[in-house]
Amino acid sequence: MKTKTEIIVAPSILSADFRFLEREVKAAQDAGADLIHCDVMDGRFVPNISFGPMVVAAVKKCVSVPLDVHLMIVDPAKYVDAFCDAGADILTFHAEALDGSEDVRAVAAKIKARGVKAGVSVNPDKPISLFTEVLPDIDMALVMSVYAGFGGQKFIPDVMDKVRALRKLSTDKGIDIDIEVDGGINEETAKVCADAGANILVAGNYVFGGSDYADRIQRIRG
C-alpha cells in the first residue's frame, strides 16, 4: 500500500451500476482507484442484503488492484474462508457482531492465517474499545461515518473523535495500522477525515454517481 501521508481511495461497488459491473470496476481502476471496496450485507446484522462471495470472485477477475471486502454480517468467522477464497485482499468484520476481544482476535487470526489483511470495524454508536485491545493483531481499523447497511447516507462528523483516538493510540504504541473511513465521503468530508488521521477513504455515490470517476477520485485524494 501507499504511505500513510497519501490518501488511498476505495470506491464502493454498492453504488455501481450492477448491469455493467465489470465495466464499472474497470473504469474505477483506470480512473485511479487504489482499492475496490465490496460491501457484504446479510439482512441480519444490517437490514439490507447485497451480495456474497460469488460477486467478490467475479470482481476479482476484472481488476488488478486489491479488493477491500467489508463483512456486515453475523458470525463472520463462518465465512472467512469463503471470502478469502473469493479473492479478498483485506477482509474487515464488525467487532459488535462478536462476544468480546478474544473473539475479535480469533477472527483476525483466522483471516491473517490465510495471508489476507484483517480489518475490524464498529458502527457510529459503538465504541472503539470493542477492539482497541487487539490493535497489534490487525492491519486496519474501519470507522463507519454512517450506519452500516445502505449507501448514500449523510456523513456523521462526530466519529472523527474515533479516528483521532485510533491514530493517537496506534502512534503512541508504535503500531503501523491503516485507518479507513466509510460513509458520506466527498471532497469536503475527505479532508476532514484526512486531517483526523485517516488514510483510506471509501466512496460510493460520490465516485460512481459522477460522470468523471478520475476527477472524483482525485478530489477525494486532495
Query: What are the residue ranges in the chain where pLDDT is below 70?
Result: 1-5, 150-152
Look at residue 54 in the predicted model and tell me its pLDDT.
98
Q: Is the dihedral of CA 174, 178, 183, 187 positive or negative?
A: positive
All structural domains of the chain with their residue ranges: 8-221
Active-site positions?
A: 39, 182
Residue found by looking up cell 465490496 in the block: 38
Look at residue 1 in the predicted model and tell me its pLDDT.
45
Look at residue 118 in the predicted model and tell me its pLDDT.
98
How far apart are the C-alpha atoms of 88 and 63, rounded to whole Å?
A: 12
**Taking Cα atoms as reference points, which of 49, 62, 45, 63 lies closest to residue 14?**
49
Look at residue 149 in the predicted model and tell me its pLDDT.
74
- Residues 163-196: tens digit of each pLDDT: 999 999 999 999 999 999 999 999 999 999 999 9
How far apart are the C-alpha atoms of 192 and 158, rounded to whole Å?
A: 11
Radius of gyration over alpha carbons of the chain, in Å? 16
CATH superfamily ID and name for 8-221: Aldolase class I (3.20.20.70)
Look at residue 5 in the predicted model and tell me its pLDDT.
62
